[in-house]
Chain A
Amino acid sequence: MSRTPEIDVGDYVREIPGQQFLVRTEAYTDEDVFELEMKRIFERTWIYVGHESEFASAGSFKTAYAGRQPIVVIRDKEGKIGAFFNRCMHRGATLLREPQGVVQEMRCPYHGWIFDLAGRTRLVSERGDPGGYGANFLEPQGLLRVPRMESYRGLLFVSLDAGIEPLASYLGELKAVIDAKLDLSPVGRIAIASKPYVCRYKGNWKLQTENIVDAYHFMHTHGAFVKLQAKYGDSTGDFGVHKGRSSREMREQRFRGETWSCRQGHGFARVPAADPGYLLDGEFGRMYRELLDRHGEAAFAGITAKATSTVFPSMGMIHQQIRVWRPISVDETEVLIYPYEIEGAPDAFNAGMLRSQERFYGPSGFGMADDTEIFARVTQGLRASSVEWLVFDRGMDSDERTESGDYRGLPSSEAPQRALWRAWENMMRQASKHA
């Protein structure tokens, strides 16, 4: 177990309602803060570990992490998906080390102990041999199960906190974003068929949490892409995502819609479709018209909106992808980007969306590499610790408090970033069972 740092997190976030919102530099750079986050945040939030479609058959597994704790998620012979800590109960070696795969059982390579797909101990090797285990040996019954696992519409989350609120309530307002994204499917389901892009960057995990819902940066960090889009439009695979408009129109489009700061720490930005007529009369008009008939005009506007969202602390949905990030150290983070398919949509639709993601995301895409480069620059800049604070004031005076306790802001408000920091401060102040 790592050391328990003694730090006062009481003065890391300063909020004067409606006026000022500051975050202390050390919240991104201090190793003690990072150690505390692993316990106080990653061990008591809901952590995304995969989608049901990734577990096709008995023995289908995926490895994941809650903070830095290794987890394996696996489907058993009865069809149930379980989550266990990925370590042998004997001397601790990880049982499975491929990111994904199919196994008959979980066999430890160190001394040959075997656990079945439901995590039960199947075999303690050489048990009765000379020097083996005696009659009083307390055999571990099986792998340690992660205390909680729940699914929301096929999205699987685990929590190390047995007492955490149910997933559906934890997701709060963000459920509407997930629902809208999944309701683009005529059958209400998505599927993950592609392997993910895996990118690492030199920077704190919270930079990704902030950035995936940052409508403000797009015209600046990705300004060159905006010019590229104005020149090439849909001809190179944008697939209508940015609608091939002029830089000015793309800028105006970004100042429509809304941002949200959810009380659980989630944030999202939602921009209505630039031109719903383009969808209804376009190549996939039939699919869209059926959606309009089934869901009605208001819900259809939500389904066709561009929404980018983060589930606190480490999962996000943007474009047609699920993104999950893994803190490695205070200044290193790994990001996995899983493009997903809309079940029941025409093959050409899913193929087109995949091409549009190749264009912008991944290590050679026109967007992702710029974001990770900026994260490295932030990491470098924050070494100027003589500057005490980062500024998150944008849009504060126009954010409105909702009945649910969330805030709704104007389109490029930093409301979604404030969501992260409000939840962060709240959780970091509360001592957990372990720290």
Chain B
Amino acid sequence: MLQDITQFIYREARLLDDRRLDDWLSLFDDDGLYIVPLVDEALPGRQAAIVNDDRMAREERVYHLVNHWFPAQQPPSRTLHFVSNVVADERDGLWSVSSSQLIHETRGGDWTQVGLGEKNAIVARVDYLLRRGDKGFRIHEKRVHLLDRAGWQGNLAFIY
């Protein structure tokens, strides 16, 4: 089972790296959540999050990235995910999965321009709640705990 789970997370990472974002959307439950919190509390409550996307918001984010020209993604980010330290526990049909992820990001084109050609590293513990159904696993929650969530961020206008 652990191998199935790691394969699922590797494939999710590959979809993001290959910018197959519509396929990425289909990995989620309808009531799934993609969240990048600023604080450690389980629920954001009165606290702003960096990303707090339900199904419609995920669709909107993908639509924006795929269909629109906008400054923060011109040129678009290229990413490469490294996933490790996967630990999984099951309770009542819900798999709680923790992973360490190192996500390299760069925007190329004219690397002489300010902000382009930089090699950025996002380091995060990425926790998932996975449901196993007829068609395999579905993401009920993807929670990205940035290592430097309390500090300053640059341009994170892509999906990571």
Contact = CB atoms under 8 A, between A and B. Distances in A.
Contacts of A358: 48-52
A363 B50 contact: yes
A224 interface: yes
Contact of A355 (B39, B52, B115): B52
Interface residues of A, number: 47
B48 A363 contact: no
B56 interface: yes
A197 B50 contact: yes
Contacts of B154: 199-201, 363, 372
Contact of B71 (A231, A362, A377): A377
Interface string B68-105: 11111000000000000000000000000000000000
Interface string B52-64: 1000110010011
Contact of A193 (B47, B52, B68): B47
A355 B46 CA distance: 10
A380 interface: yes
B147 to A, nearest CB: 14
B3 interface: no
A83 B85 CA distance: 46
B38 interface: yes
Nearest to B146: A363
A227 interface: yes
A225 to B, nearest CB: 7
Given A197-B50, A350-B46, A358-B49, A236 B152 contact: no
Interface string A250-293: 00000000000000000000000000000000000000000000
Contacts of B36: 364
A64 to B, nearest CB: 15
B151 interface: yes
Contact of A377 (B39, B57, B114): B114
B46 A354 contact: yes
A347 B151 CA distance: 28
Interface of A: 99, 193-202, 221-225, 227-228, 231-232, 235-237, 334, 339, 341, 350-351, 354-355, 357-359, 362-366, 369-370, 372-374, 376-377, 379-380
A170 to B, nearest CB: 29
Nearest to B68: A224
Nearest to A202: B114
Contact of B64 (A224, A339, A379): A224
A202 B71 contact: no
A282 B157 CA distance: 32
Nearest to B36: A364
B2 interface: no
29 contacts: A99-B150, A194-B38, A194-B47, A195-B39, A197-B38, A198-B153, A199-B152, A200-B153, A224-B68, A224-B70, A227-B68, A228-B60, A236-B56, A236-B60, A339-B48, A350-B46, A357-B48, A358-B50, A358-B51, A358-B52, A363-B156, A364-B51, A366-B64, A366-B70, A366-B157, A369-B71, A369-B157, A373-B155, A380-B114
Given A195-B39, A235-B56, A354-B47, 13 more contacts: A195-B150, A197-B48, A197-B153, A198-B151, A200-B153, A354-B46, A358-B48, A362-B153, A364-B36, A364-B51, A366-B70, A369-B72, A374-B71
Interface string B7-51: 000000000000000000000000000001011000000111111
Contacts of A354: 46-48
A223 to B, nearest CB: 8
Contacts of A374: 71
B69 A224 contact: yes
B48, B113, B153, most chain A CB atoms within 10 A? B48
**Which secondary structure dominates chain B's binding surface?**
loop
Contacts of B150: 99, 195
Given A221-B71, A231-B63, A380-B113, A369 B46 contact: no
Interface of B: 36, 38-39, 46-52, 56-57, 60, 63-64, 68-72, 113-115, 150-157
A48 B92 CA distance: 51
A369 B105 CA distance: 15
A322 to B, nearest CB: 13
A366 B71 CA distance: 10
Contacts of B57: 236-237, 359
A366 B49 CA distance: 14
A142 to B, nearest CB: 30
Contact of A373 (B48, B49, B63, B115): B115
Contact of A362 (B46, B48, B68, B114): B48
B159 to A, nearest CB: 9
Nearest to A191: B46
Contacts of A334: 152
A225 B49 CA distance: 19
B60 A200 contact: no
Contacts of B157: 363-366, 369-370
A202 B115 contact: yes
Nearest to A383: B114
A195 B47 contact: yes
B156 A364 contact: yes
A341 B45 CA distance: 12
Nearest to B57: A236
Contacts of A202: 114-115
B144 to A, nearest CB: 10
A221 B56 CA distance: 24
B152 A228 contact: no
